[in-house]
Amino acid sequence: MSSFEYNGNPSRVIFGSGSIQKLPAELARQKLSSPIIVSTPEQTSHAELVRDILSKAKDGPVAAAGIYSKAAMHTPAHVTEDAVAFSKKSGADSVVSIGGGSTTGLGKAISFLSGIPHVVIPTTYAGSEVTPVLGETKDGKKTTKSDPKILPGTVIYDVDLTMSLPPGLSATSGVNAIAHAVETLYSRTTSPITNLFAIEGISALANSLPIITSTDASDVPARTAAQYGAWLCGVCLGTVGMALHHKLCHALGGSFNMPHAETHTVVLPHALAYNVAAMPDDLKARLAGALPGSDGDPVKGLNVLLTRLGVKRGLKEFGLREEDVDRAAEIATSNPYWNPRPVEREKIRELIRRAWAGEEARADL
């Protein structure tokens, strides 16, 4: 076995149906009594649910300092500045974010800049709730920072909150989570421990998402398995360095305002196809084994999975123009993240063109 380093992220996880009801006790355990509740405009009802749970708490004097429901995709800097000001004005001693990656990202930013504890209640399969990574967008460019202080202290996984997640969004959110784990397998800073998490997480999602999207969206075991898989995949992203896939998605999301989960879903098989030859054979085989229908080829396995999920495969379907491909390639190849295979501009341009056109991924670049 090769030498490696592994740094576990010390977050507390509360997992299970109905676990949102444990929020007041968790805040009381940390001697917190006045959280700001963060959501997107579309999930204000979830924020109000949290507020109501706190108002009925028997675990100590806990009451919401206020609700901030302006979280937005890619964590725009101006929204963060407004949210931090709101938090300080309300006298909040903590932040509770409920929702997907957009809400979690804003909660992270508030916590990091204000120095107050952060409790996350995910309602999608984003996975960012267990990472010390924060992506922010300013002046049309998305950048990331990593710091242990960004990592939320507690995550409450309540499968009941995912039951109303539409099948289409479940699919793209779940594939977004899979992307975290796939990139882990060829990361420069991966380890045998992280690889275990990655393969287990990918398998859980690849087997549960088709049930959720085409058989029974209210299947509790499938929803639970998907949430479990998303957690493991998120842990992977939080312990390794990002590579080509995330660089491409950050370029597309930050500069062209492409939808987050959908972009990850479209790009993932193409990024893997670019890097698959650089993966160790044993990890390539284990990844293929986690993807039903792969026949030993992980790129085929991802193509099969996306076909079964019925997701859109072309970036053009989300507003990227063909004339944007050149600029996207330029952004993605300038100051590139470390990657196991050299990042060549013309090949990356062709990769993006294929993703734009909605072609199936193939490992011939």
Tell me what pLDDT residue 103 has: 96
Residue 230, classed as helix, strand or coil, is: helix
- Over residues 336-361, the mean pLDDT reads 97
- CA-to-CA dists, residue 29 to 89, 197, 328, angstroms: 25, 29, 47
- Over residues 327-335, the mean pLDDT reads 95
Tell me what pLDDT residue 47 has: 96
What band does 264 get if pLDDT is binned at 50, 70 and 90?
Answer: very high
Among 8-12, 260-264, 289-293, 356-360, name the one with the lowest average pLDDT: 8-12
pLDDT in tens, 114-127: 999 999 999 999 88
- Over residues 12-17, the mean pLDDT reads 96
Residues β-bridged to residue 121: 98
Sign of CA dihedral 80, 81, 82, 84: positive
Residue 37, classed as helix, strand or coil, is: strand
- Over residues 335-362, the mean pLDDT reads 96
If one compares 127 and 95, the residue with the highest pLDDT of the two is 95
pLDDT in tens, 145-185: 889 999 999 999 999 999 999 999 999 999 999 999 999 99
pLDDT in tens, 302-315: 999 999 999 999 99
Whether 61 shows a pLDDT value over 70: the answer reads: no
Tell me what pLDDT residue 41 has: 95
Residue 96, classed as helix, strand or coil, is: strand
- Over residues 333-346, the mean pLDDT reads 94
Percentage of the residues of the chain whose pLDDT score is greater than 70: 99
Structural domains present in the chain: 12-162 (3.40.50.1970), 167-357 (1.20.1090.10)
pLDDT in tens, 44-54: 999 999 999 99
What band does 135 get if pLDDT is binned at 50, 70 and 90?
Answer: confident
Tell me what pLDDT residue 13 has: 96
Whether 225 shows a pLDDT value over 80: the answer reads: yes
**Other beta carbons less than 10 A from residue 139's beta carbon:** 7
Sign of CA dihedral 182, 216, 40, 310: positive
pLDDT, mean over the chain:
94
Please give the backbone phi and psi of residue 316, each rounded to the nearest 5 degrees, phi first. -65, -25
- Over residues 199-211, the mean pLDDT reads 98
What band does 138 get if pLDDT is binned at 50, 70 and 90?
Answer: confident
Distance CA 53, CA 271 (A): 43
Residue 30, classed as helix, strand or coil, is: coil
pLDDT in tens, 98-109: 999 899 999 999
